[in-house]
Amino acid sequence: MMPHRIRLQWEVATRHPKSIVGCQVRRDPAEATERYTHWINNLTNEQLVTQVFTSHGPTVIMPTWFCSREWFCHVGKFDEGGKGTPEDLLYFYEHLRKGGEVFRVDQCLLLYRYHPKAATHSVLEETIWTYRLLFLEERVLSHWTSFTIWNAGKQGRKLFRSLSSTNQKKVIAFCDVDKNKITKGFYTYEESKENPKPRIPIIHFRDASPPFIICVKLDLTDGQFEENLSQLNLKEGVDYHHFN
């Protein structure tokens, strides 16, 4: 850590005693996980809360965390399930459930080393998916009466299949830019035990109605997806959430 890390994060934490305070990081090697590192360092203050459902995990990463002992004890202990348990994600979710705030000092205060034997690699993608989905249903979908899934491809269909039956019934459409998917017209959930099987319309994103759960990865389309989203003049955390 950099010499002034504790002072700068302590100053924020004393003003916000129910908070986890993070910071920006520098990767070693520099080219490791470039998209992830960009995400860590460039989220806005609002996105530190709105983007908690993405596959990247906590919006301030655990090696940067700073909080008061009193608040840590209030949230509770880390899950000691051992190898394969995403203890940082589970603690972060509990922190948010108990009304915790999230802040980041916008200075690079930590050298974050990457190595292939890090414990994070022992956590299965499906484990992370399950916890993210449950948190999304708890925090967002339970308050919505209907929504659209942005992405009629693999990830969007997987989200639909993973939802509880109650939340599946709230999905009014998939939206996409792929002409082939839109021309097809519908996604039929063949594995469903219902009769008739659910058929969800597939429409162009400009014809879709918010709110959206977005299953499109950021920073992978040369800015085209981000431009499409910005054209709709929606508010993140109200009209849509990222689940990519």
Q: Is 231 left (phi over 0), alpha (psi -120 to 50) or beta?
A: alpha
* Residue 226: domain span: 144-242
pLDDT digits (tens, 9 = 90+) for 30-51: 998 899 999 999 999 999 999 9
Cβ-Cβ contacts under 8 Å for 220 (sequence gap 6 or more): 35
Same domain, 85 and 159: no
pLDDT digits (tens, 9 = 90+) for 180-215: 999 999 999 898 888 889 999 999 999 999 999 999
Same domain, 155 and 86: no
- What pLDDT, on the 0 to 100 scale, is given for residue 43? 97
Tokens of 136: 């999304």
Is residue 148 one of the residues assigned to a domain? yes
Q: Which of 157, 174, 182, 178 is nearest to 221 (CA)?
A: 178
Number of structural domains, the chain?
2
**CA–CA dist 7, 226 (Å, integer):** 36
Q: Residue 238: which CATH number?
A: 3.40.50
Is residue 233 one of the residues assigned to a domain? yes
Question: pTM for the complete prediction?
Answer: 0.93
**CA–CA dist 204, 174 (Å, integer):** 8
Same domain, 36 and 114: yes
Same domain, 25 and 110: yes
Same domain, 150 and 195: yes
